[in-house]
Amino acid sequence: MELWMIACMILTWIFIHRLSQRYKKGPKTWPLVGAAIEQLINFDRMHDWLVEYLSESKTVVVPMPFTTYTYIADPANVEHVLKTNFANYPKGEVYHSYMEVLLGDGIFNADGELWRKQRKTASFEFASKNLRDFSTTVFREYSLKLSAILSEASFHNQEVDMQDLLMRMTLDSICKVGFGVEIGTLAPNLPDNHFAQSFDNANIIVTLRFIDPLWKIKKFLNVGREALLDKCIKIIDDFTYSVIRRRKAEIVEARESGRKNMIKHDILSRFIELSEDMESNSTDKNLRDVVLNFVIAGRDTTATTLSWATYMIMTHADVAEKLYLELKTLEKEQAKEENVSLVQCDTEDSESFNQRVTQFAGLLNYDSLGRLYYLHAVITETLRLYPAVPQDPKGILKDDVLPDGTKVRAGGMVTYVPYSMGRMEYNWGPDAASFKPERWLKDGFFQNASPFKFTAFQAGPRICLGKDSAYLQMKMALAILCRFYKFSLVPGHPVKYRMMTILSMAHGLKLTIARRS
């Protein structure tokens, strides 16, 4: 009898709960498990699943077993979270615990005073002309290395995985800018690299913690992915600390020999100098965290955006042609301005072709790239539809009410969703789903949108410090690639995203290549 009454009470509870859900917008929820069932079913297409709900309602509440996620796509709500009430929406302890093993207490994993100090220092460094000039040289160097590989592939009619090549290029580039070292993953034979492999694996494993409620148990027992993570972190740390010790020794030697001009301009060298100048208690661990944060932020995000941009350009012939014409025009104008005679380019002769590519790359600098407004619009339009970070969750310190009246509770999470925001007609108009770089141009010049509407680089106090550097590298690479190559997707190759923190392509980007004169 008692069992029968308990069963009736449970069924009544479920019935009342389901009845209360009938007129609510958002996914189906159930007692105890919340919306976990529907979310699990749609996990591989989570970003598009959210697009469907956020197109019906600008705010979607998704209860889960241990917390509640509030997803927002309205710029007014985003501004409230990222700026107006910024202090109430930190990264939070949950995020910090997931990422600490890789990011430590670096700028992308810190809150409060620790974050503010790093932000202030990093902001000063990113404004440095020395770092900008050094980065420009590095980005040009590795874009040419990539071009040489593509040139060979086109000559031998070989297929390439463009995403893999771009990941190698950006990792090599950011390690040169961050550490001042050459790790060589983009060498012609595309060698394996223990640091690169460990970095990739660690990045994937810490990301999977967000959907694995048992990761702490696995970590305690040292089994499965968590056991592999320990091995990866050891390789990463051994490499990083060895570079730090070597760089410190080089700086001491340069000072003692009176050759201060020999000190490098990479981020690590600058932070070592700054920590000494400020007589801070900065340790090798602090330096390790600083550099790895910049590596993780500047590698995957840039390569992913370049991959989607390449795909968008080659699937929109009109965009590819406009871009090619802009680059040809710049080449002629810049050559005339610098009094350079352009060498003849024979697409059948590798030597003359590569010579012309190198000459063109030499014409590309911070100022000349800044005049490529259509290229800038192409990259920005790619980021609108395929943001490198498709979702960004924030913790909630205190109960709050969003501008649209939605109540959020302390301990929950608020997530603004750049992937959905770029596809919302209420944000971008009836052509929101179309790839249209022209939407960013007015009288031929690039026009920015509100960072609370175009959120690919976040907004407010945490707006991305590396935004200009990212654009610089992406424009350098795409200018060379789109000026001298045409890309075609390998027939039957699937292009879809993988459910990770970064919007990478699940199966890479398999292409064939043709040269352009």
Q: pLDDT at position 260, please?
A: 64
At residue 26, the pLDDT reads 73
% of the chain exceeding 70 in pLDDT: 91
Query: Residue 11 — very low, low, confident or very high, per pLDDT cuts 50/70/90?
Result: very low
What confidence category does residue 36 fall into, taking pLDDT thresholds of 50, 70 and 90? low
Q: What are phi and psi of 442, to 5 degrees?
A: -135, 120
pLDDT in tens, 114-132: 888 888 888 887 888 888 9
SS3 assignment, position 324: helix
Query: In terms of pLDDT, which residue wins out, 35 or 93?
Result: 93
Q: What angle do CA 454, 455, 460 make, to 5 degrees?
A: 115
Cα four-point dihedral sign 175, 127, 323, 441? positive
More confident residue, 11 or 89: 89
- Ligand-binding annotation for 464, yes or no, is yes
Strand partners, 269: none
8 A C-beta contact, residue 369 and residue 475: yes
Of 72-86, 116-130, 451-465, the range with the lowest mean pLDDT is 116-130
Does the structure show a pLDDT above 60 at 17? no
Could you count the other beta carbons within 10 Å of the beta carbon of residue 251? Answer: 19
| Model pLDDT, residue 69 | 85
CATH topology (fold) of 116-515: Cytochrome p450 (1.10.630)
What's the CA dihedral at 435, 441, 443, 447 to 10 degrees? 160
- 8 Å CB contact between 61 and 70: yes
What is residue 130's predicted lDDT score, i.e. its pLDDT? 85
Kindly tell me if the per-residue pLDDT of 19 is higher than 70.
no
DSSP H or E run through 244: helix 224-256
pLDDT above 80: residue 30: no
432 CB neighbour count, 10 Å cutoff: 18
* Cα of 228 vs its chain's centroid, Å: 24
**Average of pLDDT values for 102-119?**
86
pLDDT at 3: 54
Q: Is 280 left (phi over 0), alpha (psi -120 to 50) or beta?
A: beta
Determine phi and psi for 68, rounding to 5 degrees.
-125, 130
SS3 393: strand
Tokens 């992913």 belong to residue? 304
Cα dihedral 95, 97, 101, 103 sign: positive
225: pLDDT strictly greater than 80:
yes
Give the whole-angstrom CA distance, residue 384 versus residue 403: 24
The residue extents of the domains of the chain are 116-515
DSSP letter for each residue of 149-173: HHHHHHHTT--EEHHHHHHHHHHHH
User: Tell me, what's the pLDDT at 95?
Assistant: 81
Q: CA-CA distance, 325 to 314, in Å (whole number)?
A: 15
Q: Which residues pair with 414 in a beta bridge?
A: 70, 394
| Those residues with Cβ within 8 angstroms of residue 117's Cβ, 6 or more apart along the chain or in another chain | none
Render pLDDT for 243-279 as a digit per residue (tens, 0 to 9): 899 888 888 888 888 776 666 778 888 888 877 665 5
Separation between Cα atoms, residue 347 and residue 345, nearest integer Å:
6
Among 13-17, 276-280, 502-506, top mean pLDDT goes to: 502-506
- Measure the CA dihedral 19/23/25/30, to 10°: 0
Does the pLDDT of residue 485 top 90, yes or no? yes
Res 280: pLDDT? 58
Is the model's pLDDT at 469 over the cut of 60? yes
Q: Give the sign of the dihedral formed by CA 462, CA 467, CA 469, CA 473.
A: positive
Look at residue 421 and tell me whether its pLDDT is greater than 70.
yes
Would you state the pLDDT for residue 278?
A: 54
- SS3 per-residue string spanning 438-477: HHHEECCEECCCCCCCCCCCCCHHHCCCCHHHHHHHHHHH
Q: Report the 10 Å Cβ neighbour count for 157.
A: 9
Tell me the two tokens of residue 417.
């969703």
| pLDDT at residue 50, rounded to an integer | 92
Please provide the DSSP assignment of 476-504 as one string.
HHHHHHHHHEEEEEPTT----B-SSSS--
Instruction: Supply 160's token pair.
Output: 């390439």
Residue corresponding to tokens 């932000």: 119
Quote the distance between the C-alpha of residue 407 and its chain's center: 30
